Structure 1
Amino acid sequence: MKILSFSLMVSLLCLGMHAQEEQTAQKHNAYYDKSLEELLNVETQAKANVGSRSGARDALDALVPIDVISQEQLQSSGYTELGKVLSKLIAGFNYPRPSIADGTDHSPPFTLRGMNPDQVLVLINGKRLHQSSLLNVNGTIGRGSLSVDLNTIPLRSIERIEVLRDGAAAQYGSDAIAGIINIVLKGYGSQSVATISYGVTHEGDGVMRQSDLFYTLPLKEDGFANITVEAKDRGATNRAEADIYNNNLIDTHFGDAKTQDLLLALNVEAPRDDLIWYMHGNFDDRHSRAGAYFRNPADFRNIPSVYPNGYLPSIHPEIIDGTWAGGLRGILENGLKWDASYTLGYNDYHFYVDNTLNRSLGVASPHSFDSGGTRYLEQIFNFDLSRTIDKWQVAGGVEVRKENYQIYRGDEASYALGSFSSASGAQGFPGFRPENEVDASRYNVAAYLDNTYTFTNWLSTDVALRSEYYNDFGSTLDGKIALRVKPSEDWLVRTSASTGFRAPSLAQSNFTYTQMIEDAGNIVTFGNYGVNDPVARALGATDLKPETSQHYTMGFVYQPISNFSISADYFITDIQDRIMATGYISGYTISGLSAYAQSILSANNVDGAVYFANAFSTRTRGFDVRMDYKYDLDSGAKMKHALAYNRSETHITKLNDAPSVLGVSMIDLMVDPFVKVTLEEGQPIDSVKFWNKYETKAFDWIVNVNRFGSFKSTDYYTPITFRAKWTVDTELVFHINKEFSIAIGAENLFNAMPDPWPNSQDWVVKYSEYAPFGYNGAYYYARAQWRF
């Protein structure tokens, strides 16, 4: 059935291309014979702002590869979370659904081209979007990194998404190694719309109730104020198996967290004389809940008189996330454009845990705890200038950015070590201790130039240079050069080379999360230590250096007719000094750990320690192919196709030296078989996205075919291959009238499931949390929309 559906889409594509060949329109932009109504419905080539500071341009005519995801593609999905939607539309975008991974369950990280979440820069309206304060420290994809939480942005507020598939740190600064995702909010000419939707999985769980309102208010002098309000309630899913060691009961939660979100978004432009005031912002208040590991009745962490049947601790963070950007721009009489802006980003990740206890406090232990949390604050000031001078497009500017990262303690019972057990703290998520509290800040200043020179209509080049100073690690200087050759109207050839960097995050340098245990009458600690902690320093930790990169791209665009294009780009990205957490440094977990290192642990009453370090270098290489095709049928209907393919492979190319004090190699310290397999093969090696739409006045039919490539994980350090899978999404939209429509659809229509773990019947977790399309199976939904 899946192969049949894919074959049907290919047949439709071929049929459409044949129909186009029979059309009598001229090869390029033949609009002269069209009526005014037809001209108003003409879809021009997608514009993109990202990738150059000289203004919007045709995405297909750019010097670097840029994909544009349209509003209609974004909204032709039953999913209301942006991360899930993009995983179905962007080839090379990976969004697995971790479970039993503490905070990561509630804010899953994403990757692009197989590189880390913090190696992708996310913008809103061209302004940097802050990352979450959550550091992913468990064994998930993106372990040891921070990620932008895409699900804080209401889907209905977005006009389009621009994906720059090229290194761009020389233009935009830290993090833009794998590429850039620029989220463009709805602006001029948008229509107010209200939406309600309801969905449920094949298993009857994961119920989604969602409603939103996008309202646009025209202002004087062509200004606008757009506001989006969204409320959604998503039920938990659970794909855990029965526990053969606990009377075949389903006692574990393995699936999506239960979440409730209230989201707001604002986008405003107000022209005044020769100036334009603008601002945008978004806010998310999220309450989420998921399970930790089940504690069975006989577990030493249980008190049978309190939980005679065992218990499943519930972690339910409260997450506040918001951003606001405002500025003023204008044009001087000599044509010089200027833009001054201020951006503020904030994230608070506050952990709570209930249905649990602190075993060391005995029967008097509370069953609910405030475990503390993390905060991140980012402030950015930008001043940009640009001007066209003859064949030059010259742009430049300065940026000042200040960051603050905090860890704040939980209540005392959440971390205390009492007298009734050697295990301290709230089971499921022990609280941050007073010794873990952090309040770290830094600032950086950047100056940049971005110049494009057009030699002729068929030859142009872009040169960018950016210098930055960070007060915690020093200076960087990065450059980029891109060349565009257009030998004919049909063909474009492009190539680029650049250097880049990613500054170590404040969280990686300062994250501290330790617990206490009693060992032979002594109280000892264990856990994560910041690189400046005396214990970490004694064990060889040093100040983190920035990750540095070199990026190379070469590709082409072929556009023989105005409504058909195909592009292909090959890329190589080398990254040095990648940052990762060490393994657990102790005498019984790292073979050959020096006696001196063990004496340091003993002298500091530490059972074992983890800290972050610059560990190794990698090379990621692959290619992207994209095809877009649109055409009109004689009946007045339209067909649209977007086909994208990505293949990315990452390999470790060099290991740095481990600290000599430990007496072990970097393989022993950091790159064990689990880490190596996860880094190099833990994500799909390739992916296919094939989006298709049949559009009429009465209804629209969308079919989206996805292929998620094979990946690997380990079971007791043995690599296990999980095969590639196909999924099919479909949606029917009925236009009752110009204002009102109803949609029904399915994500993963044929209920495709990832391969299970071998011998999964022996364990309650049947599927890998690395599965790129999750493990919930089919999801069915209905949506009603009213435009006004």
Structure 2
Amino acid sequence: SFINHMRYGQSQSDAAIRANASRTADAGELSLGLQTINLDFTQPLGAWSLAWGAELRRDDYEIKAGEEYSYFDYDTDANGNSLYAADAAAGIQVFPGFQPGNELDESRDVWSLYADAEYDISDTWLVSGALRYDNYDDFGGTANFKLASSFRATDRVSFRGAASTGFRAPSMQQQYFNNISTQFVSDGSGGLTAQERGTFRNDSAVAKAIGIPELKEEESVNLSFGVVLEPVDALTITVDAYQIDIKDRIVISGGLTSSLGDPNLTAALAAAGASSAQFFLNGADTETSGVDIVSTYAMAAGAGDLAISFAANFTETEVTKVFAGGGLATLNPSDVFSAQDISIIEEWQPKDRINLSFNYSLERFTAVLAFNRYGEYTVCEGSCTGAANRQTFGAKVLTDVNLSYRLKDDITINVGGNNILDETPDKNNIGQTRAGTIADSSGNVFVSSPGVFQYSRRSAPFGFNGAYFFAGVVYDF
């Protein structure tokens, strides 16, 4: 067989190899499980409302190896020598299968306790507070609190505010995912080059070799203040401003290569068969501020009823600090968490999102018309400097329609469409590969390609498949 010939270094013609080589292989399996048991109590006591409870949770994460053909390096002998002049990467191109060395079956147990109390100081003033303690058997415990209050100034104006701390434990995937895959990175001149990049666990041999610190939980401080208005009957408007400061945010590092001059990293990469390495790290502090606006209005419309809803969100996130701990502390932080990594957090998603919807109902008939506006956003490549490496994508409005008619109490017919005007993101101009032209001997151009990525492969707040129409019948048992 092709596999046995290659494994033992026996030669074959290229035609025989192509004839015998499989075109498919199972790359392996990822599995994530969550099991919870909750116990909650509530108790009103006059002006007080009390709640308390507990939770037990078990997180499971498993990686199973793929078929041998998906990852094995058949053109390299047992001594690591290539059998051919051109040494191809092992396994399936771009995403090799999970190897036996990637396999794992990990779990963790979490127990939590909480208590919550609300108190009506008066008919118009409510205050509340809550405490919560969580204990993870893999990284310890954390305690957090929340204080909140709402005050009704008049029948049509209310104020509310809250302050709290929070946390987010490292996910099982961030702690344990490991694999070597082909990633396309900037070559420094506007193009892309393929690189075998390993994502390594923080307890792996590569991580230990260069002193990658263990992951710890993210911590946050959250502040919010809002107003609730009812200018006229049936019209409600809420405006809330907020700020969220996150400390020790978990990020994935850039690709660390031997060019950084760390001999331990160079040796570890060679042993792992990768040209670069990336890790999940507590590597940044961020500050997010924004405003949420929500308004609803209900009115009679002819023989039916019309509900109008408006919602808008304006958010901005800034990376306030970048750092690298452990053995990476001697490196320039920008080598660990690059300008592109910062841009992903700050720029790769719209800073505003607006929704306006109309819901009309008349007996058995319902019609919904919704407009969704996604604001502009910026994507960058490589160093993120210069027009060739940055592109701002314009704001777009998507229109959705849904018509439904209830034939009977248990049968409803639906027809409609999402993005019925067939909007797509702006065409992509950066980070292209295979761009160029091909001409015949007479100079006639018969191939002219701006690149293979017609739409951004980096970020898109909505899909690029355009309009989607549907029809269906719903039957309630």
Q: Classify the TM-score, shorter chain.
A: 0.7 to 0.9
Q: CA deviation at 1:713?
A: 0.7
Partner AA of 1:765 in structure 2: F
Q: How does 1:337-352 map onto structure 2 within 5 Å?
A: none
- Alignment equivalent of 2:404, drawn from 711, 714, 733: 733
Query: 1: CA distance between counterparts of 2:396 and 2:226?
Result: 28
Q: CA deviation at 1:478?
A: 0.3
Q: Is the 8 A contact 1:594 1:661 kept in 2?
A: no
Q: CA deviation at 1:661?
A: 5.2
- Alignment equivalent of 2:20, drawn from 364, 371, 375: 364
Query: 2: CA distance between counterparts of 1:430 and 1:496?
Result: 48
Partner AA of 1:368 in structure 2: T
Q: Is the 8 A contact 1:448 1:464 kept in 2?
A: yes
Give the structure 2 partner of residue 776 of structure 1.
Answer: 465
Query: 1: CA distance between counterparts of 2:405 and 2:176?
Result: 53
Q: Is the 8 A contact 1:658 1:664 kept in 2?
A: no
Q: Deviation per CA, 1:398-424: give whole Å up to 9, x if none.
A: 212122211111121111110265321
- Alignment equivalent of 1:640, drawn from 307, 327, 340: 307
Give the structure 1 partner of residue 162 of structure 2.
Answer: 496
Partner AA of 1:664 in structure 2: L
- Alignment equivalent of 1:628, drawn from 290, 296, 312: 296
Give the structure 1 partner of residue 135 of structure 2.
Answer: 469
* Structure 1 unmatched ranges of 5 or more: 1-302, 307-360, 517-524
Query: 2: CA distance between counterparts of 1:741 and 1:602?
Result: 62
Give the structure 2 partner of residue 750 of structure 1.
Answer: 421
Q: Is the 8 A contact 1:482 1:494 kept in 2?
A: yes
Query: 2: CA distance between counterparts of 1:783 and 1:378?
Result: 33
| Distance change >3 Å, CA 451–CA 597, structure 1 → 2 | same
Query: 2: CA distance between counterparts of 1:603 and 1:656?
Result: 27
Give the structure 2 partner of residue 454 of structure 1.
Answer: 120
Give the structure 2 partner of residue 317 of structure 1.
Answer: none
Q: Is the 8 A contact 1:424 1:515 kept in 2?
A: no
Query: 2: CA distance between counterparts of 1:740 and 1:596?
Result: 67
Q: Which of structures 1 and 2 has the bigger CA Rg?
A: 2
Partner AA of 1:630 in structure 2: A
Give the structure 1 partner of residue 335 of structure 2.
Answer: 668
Q: Deviation per CA, 1:313-370: give whole Å up to 9, x if none.
A: xxxxxxxxxxxxxxxxxxxxxxxxxxxxxxxxxxxxxxxxxxxxxxxx7653322211
Q: CA deviation at 1:602?
A: 4.6
Q: CA deviation at 1:780?
A: 2.2
Q: Is the 8 A contact 1:641 1:692 kept in 2?
A: yes
Give the structure 2 partner of residue 566 of structure 1.
Answer: 237
Q: Deviation per CA, 1:489-530: give whole Å up to 9, x if none.
A: 2222100000000001122111111379xxxxxxxx961211
Give the structure 1 partner of residue 316 of structure 2.
Answer: 649
Q: Deviation per CA, 1:652-705: give whole Å up to 9, x if none.
A: 0111234445742221112x2322222101011101111102222364332111
Query: 2: CA distance between counterparts of 1:598 and 1:532?
Result: 18
- Alignment equivalent of 2:374, drawn from 686, 700, 708: 708
Query: 1: CA distance between counterparts of 2:397 and 2:104?
Result: 45
Paired residues, what number? 419
Partner AA of 2:467 in structure 1: A
Query: 1: CA distance between counterparts of 2:468 and 2:14?
Result: 39
Give the structure 1 partner of residue 193 of structure 2.
Answer: none
Give the structure 2 partner of residue 384 of structure 1.
Answer: 40
Give the structure 1 partner of residue 147 of structure 2.
Answer: 481
| Distance change >3 Å, CA 605–CA 496, structure 1 → 2 | same
Q: Deviation per CA, 1:556-593: give whole Å up to 9, x if none.
A: 111245522110100001111111222222124xxx43
Q: Deviation per CA, 1:115-164: give whole Å up to 9, x if none.
A: xxxxxxxxxxxxxxxxxxxxxxxxxxxxxxxxxxxxxxxxxxxxxxxxxx
- Alignment equivalent of 1:609, drawn from 274, 277, 282: 277
Q: Which runs of 4+ in 1 moved over 6 A?
A: none
Q: How does 1:403-482 map onto structure 2 within 5 Å?
A: 403-419=59-75, 421-482=87-148
Q: Deviation per CA, 1:626-664: give whole Å up to 9, x if none.
A: 00111123x321111110000111110111234445742
Query: 2: CA distance between counterparts of 1:490 and 1:515?
Result: 58
Q: Is the 8 A contact 2:404 2:414 kept in 1?
A: yes
Residue 402, structure 1, aligned to residue 68, structure 2: no
| Distance change >3 Å, CA 742–CA 378, structure 1 → 2 | closer
Q: Deviation per CA, 1:244-295: give whole Å up to 9, x if none.
A: xxxxxxxxxxxxxxxxxxxxxxxxxxxxxxxxxxxxxxxxxxxxxxxxxxxx
Query: 1: CA distance between counterparts of 2:429 and 2:344?
Result: 18
Query: 1: CA distance between counterparts of 2:95 and 2:424?
Result: 30
Q: Is the 8 A contact 2:245 2:285 kept in 1?
A: yes
Q: Which has the higher strand share?
A: 2
Query: 1: CA distance between counterparts of 2:226 and 2:452?
Result: 47
Q: Is the 8 A contact 1:594 1:664 kept in 2?
A: no
Query: 2: CA distance between counterparts of 1:738 and 1:396?
Result: 40
Q: Deviation per CA, 1:608-636: give whole Å up to 9, x if none.
A: 32221110010111000000111123x32
Name which structure has the greater RCO, CA cutoff 8 Å, separation 6+. 1
Give the structure 1 partner of residue 440 of structure 2.
Answer: none
- Percent identity (aligned): 30
Query: 1: CA distance between counterparts of 2:374 and 2:423?
Result: 11
Give the structure 1 partner of residue 455 of structure 2.
Answer: 767
| Distance change >3 Å, CA 674–CA 604, structure 1 → 2 | closer
SS of alignment partner, residue 208 of structure 2: helix
Residue 548, structure 1, aligned to residue 219, structure 2: yes
| Distance change >3 Å, CA 705–CA 537, structure 1 → 2 | same
| Distance change >3 Å, CA 515–CA 564, structure 1 → 2 | closer
SS of alignment partner, residue 676 of structure 1: helix
* Structure 2 unmatched ranges of 5 or more: 1-12, 76-82, 183-195, 433-448
Give the structure 1 partner of residue 187 of structure 2.
Answer: none
Partner AA of 1:527 in structure 2: G
| Distance change >3 Å, CA 446–CA 743, structure 1 → 2 | closer
Q: Is the 8 A contact 1:539 1:662 kept in 2?
A: no
Query: 1: CA distance between counterparts of 2:149 and 2:173?
Result: 38
Give the structure 2 partner of residue 393 of structure 1.
Answer: 49
Query: 2: CA distance between counterparts of 1:765 and 1:719?
Result: 15
Q: Is the 8 A contact 1:540 1:662 kept in 2?
A: no
Residue 597, structure 1, aligned to residue 265, structure 2: yes
Q: Deviation per CA, 1:689-738: give whole Å up to 9, x if none.
A: 11102222364332111111011112453221001111222233345566
Query: 2: CA distance between counterparts of 1:507 and 1:564?
Result: 45
Q: Is the 8 A contact 2:210 2:264 kept in 1?
A: no
Q: CA deviation at 1:428?
A: 4.7
Q: CA deviation at 1:744?
A: 3.0
Q: Deviation per CA, 1:103-123: give whole Å up to 9, x if none.
A: xxxxxxxxxxxxxxxxxxxxx
Query: 1: CA distance between counterparts of 2:307 and 2:61?
Result: 46
SS of alignment partner, residue 456 of structure 1: coil
Q: Is the 8 A contact 1:393 1:452 kept in 2?
A: yes
SS of alignment partner, residue 773 of structure 1: coil
| Distance change >3 Å, CA 698–CA 458, structure 1 → 2 | closer
SS of alignment partner, residue 369 of structure 1: coil
Q: CA deviation at 1:781?
A: 2.4
Q: Deviation per CA, 1:356-389: give whole Å up to 9, x if none.
A: xxxxx76533222111111122222222222111
Q: Is the 8 A contact 2:403 2:414 kept in 1?
A: yes
Q: Deviation per CA, 1:449-473: give whole Å up to 9, x if none.
A: 1111111110111100011221211
CA RMSD of aligned residues (A): 2.5
SS of alignment partner, residue 486 of structure 1: strand
Query: 1: CA distance between counterparts of 2:258 and 2:45?
Result: 66
Query: 2: CA distance between counterparts of 1:618 and 1:488?
Result: 37
| Distance change >3 Å, CA 447–CA 413, structure 1 → 2 | same
Query: 2: CA distance between counterparts of 1:639 and 1:489?
Result: 24
Q: CA deviation at 1:434?
A: 0.8
Q: Is the 8 A contact 1:458 1:487 kept in 2?
A: yes
- Alignment equivalent of 2:254, drawn from 567, 573, 583: 583
